[in-house]
A and B are shown apart, each in its own frame.
Chain A
Amino acid sequence: MFSGGKDSAFALHRMLLSGFEVPVLLTIRSKDPSSPLFHTPGMEASHLFEGLTSIRTEVVEGPDDPDKEQEVLTKAFRDLKDRYDLDAVCAGALLSDFQRMRFSEAALDAGLICYAPLWRKDGGRYMEELLSFGLDYMLVSCSSAGFLPEHLGKVMDRDLLERLMDVSAKWGSHPAFEGGEAETLVLDGPLFPRALEVKGTVMTEGEHNARFKIEEAVLK
């Protein structure tokens, strides 16, 4: 499963580096901006995920009724299993049991194993790992105390990470944003043949709420 966020991108790298063959990525474009199951920001660039990763990417539209999201997921798993002869799916779930359990149930119903290679990793260590691993990503939305519009739209680096770790320490937010504090978009990864370049504007929507509106996205 590939949402374009840091977690699914890193989970994909972990699976590839563990010797798994990944024939297809599944991106679900949820219509519910507050979907607890799927990541929604950054979907403006979803048509470029296949070019970024060089892996066939199937983009599936989410249902109008948010309660039917798991149903759509199960159907997509079944469809991809048949078409690509899959044995398993991989999810980037880190701490959300809601996600892990729903993904697992959908996979079970489709006759697939569901791997979650990032499950319960320590948030702070994980963020350090992403940086040292060389995954480039940026924040595309935030909705929690301590986050500032200026944190958005910038490639994560040591300086920004330290500032965000301070936010986490001060406000008690999850260091890897598992509480929904922020959403990310991956721009490049060590195993990706190309990189994503995006231009946009930071839109402030409240005291601690902001989003990065993507105006242009291209592959480099």
Chain B
Amino acid sequence: MTEPILLKGARFVLTMTGQGVLEDADIRIEDGRIAGAGPLRKQRGDEVVDCRRCIILPGLVNCHTHSSMVALRGLNDDAPLGEWLKSMWEVEGELTGETASLASEMAFLEMVRSGTTSCLDMYEAFEAAKAADRVGIRMSNGPAFLSKFNAPEKTFKDTERFISEYKGHGTIGPVVNVHAMYTNSPETISKAAEMSKAHDVPFHIHCSETREEVFECRKERGKLPVEELDSLGALWEKSILVHLGWASSWEFKRMHERGASAVHCPSSNLKLGTGGFFPMKDLLSQGLRVGIGTDSAASNNSLDMFREMKEASLVQKGQYWDASAVRAMDVLKAATVTGNSILGTDAGRIEAGAQADLVLLKIDPVLLPLRKYTLPSALVYSATGHLVKGTMVGGEWVCLDGTMKNGKDLAGRYEHLTDKVQGALL
């Protein structure tokens, strides 16, 4: 058990609860959870952190990424999608073992440094889990079903092993990761869905990202991808479908009926020019759970969720010709409350009892003038992850003033990792 922490004197606290924004407030953390928020007195044994000239908000959840692909950042940027994918497959084959683990650690350090406390990852699950443990970030992951690289039988075994190793772990959550419908047989998808239900863990899949994928599915299987997933039993409350720029309105309705969640990766979709459109405004009004993801550092190229929230909001405003289509608070909710709900974490709001997954942000001139009612828009439209002073996961600082949870310098570690990963891939 660690000492209670008192975050003292924050100028603003964005609670993401009915309490809205608190001013000049304190937060006490005990046993990894929030014990209270508001004007609080220091108690004996409290470790006090001075938060004056700071904002505190719930930690951000990156609902879709491929952490180890940070090693491929910049590779073949601006190439057409097909060519880009081909180059990714070629190098990804080499991104295994320790190199993958170190690359994942780079990604996780970048995430916690920019305010992300939790992520849903795909690829190299065992290596990424070691890296996530080193960094202290929450991570959901699982071996990926991708018949091009692994026989499904092996992936089923590996997934079982991952689930038994990590189910009940404090910060690492197992997931049944299915790369996509076009890279797996219907039998594999169906069995993988059964596995996710049997273990009560999320089923995570790329879906309807490109027009080619959608119409190939319709031609080969007689159904659109979400319809086909449903017929394979893969659409349930813990299904997480990513991208969906080419999904139809009736497929979204089906997802809603089944309680499945959608993840929007606006920067990746725009950068790869996949076309289509993710109708976040309509999905939110229908009550579908929508999270936000950066996708990999190779297709974004940033893992900064502040930037991603802004992108998500702007894309909707532009497409709908409506400045209020998706507001700052909508994307903040998607990146905190809903993101945690999708991943099954009791966090994303600042109130007594919630997990203490928090971000401490410096009040920088780019946010000024700052008032209580402008706080959400300042966070979405003006802030970037560079303003993050500290990130806390389950009551533990995983990054504070440039220092990692083990007391080492974050920038120095990142540089060291970069050298090792680049050296291994050359």
Q: Which residues of A pack against B, CB within 8 Å?
A: 95, 97-98, 100-101, 104-105, 108-109, 113-114, 119-122, 125-126, 129
Contacts and interface: CB of A to CB of B under 8 A. Distances in A.
Contact of A104 (B215, B281, B319): B215
Interface residues of B, number: 19
B218 A105 contact: yes
A195 B212 CA distance: 40
Contacts of A126: 321
Contacts, number: 38
B288 to A, nearest CB: 15
B187 interface: no
B320 A101 contact: no
Contact of A120 (B214, B248, B275, B282): B282
B286 interface: no
A108 B321 contact: no
30 contacts: A95-B249, A97-B248, A97-B250, A98-B248, A101-B214, A101-B248, A104-B211, A104-B215, A104-B246, A105-B211, A105-B215, A105-B218, A108-B211, A108-B212, A108-B215, A109-B215, A114-B211, A120-B277, A120-B279, A120-B281, A120-B282, A120-B319, A120-B320, A121-B321, A122-B320, A122-B321, A122-B322, A125-B321, A126-B321, A129-B321
Nearest to A116: B277
Contacts of A101: 214, 224, 248
B248 to A, nearest CB: 4
A98 B322 CA distance: 24
Contacts of A95: 249
Contacts of A109: 215
A119 B319 contact: yes
Contacts of A100: 248
Contacts of B214: 101
Contacts of B320: 120-122
A100 to B, nearest CB: 8
Contacts of B215: 104-105, 108-109
A126 B319 CA distance: 12
Contacts of B224: 101
A145 to B, nearest CB: 23
Nearest to A105: B215
Nearest to A115: B275
Nearest to A126: B321
Interface string B198-214: 00000000000001101
Contacts of B211: 104-105, 108, 114
Interface of B: 211-212, 214-215, 218, 224, 246, 248-250, 275, 277, 279, 281-282, 319-322
A122 B320 CA distance: 6
A11 B206 CA distance: 31
A85 B306 CA distance: 42
Given A120-B320, A125-B322, 18 more contacts: A97-B249, A97-B250, A98-B248, A100-B248, A101-B214, A101-B248, A104-B211, A105-B218, A108-B211, A108-B215, A109-B215, A113-B275, A120-B281, A120-B282, A120-B319, A122-B320, A122-B321, A122-B322
A155 B157 CA distance: 68
Nearest to B219: A105
Nearest to B273: A113
Contacts of A108: 211-212, 215
8 closest A-B pairs by CB: A97-B248, A97-B249, A105-B215, A108-B215, A108-B211, A120-B279, A104-B211, A101-B248
A120 B252 CA distance: 14
B213 to A, nearest CB: 10
A113 B276 CA distance: 11
A121 B317 CA distance: 10
Contacts of B212: 108
A95 B249 CA distance: 9
Nearest to A101: B248
Nearest to A117: B319
A100 B246 CA distance: 10
A100 B275 CA distance: 12
A29 to B, nearest CB: 26
B285 to A, nearest CB: 12
Nearest to B281: A120
Contacts of A119: 277, 319
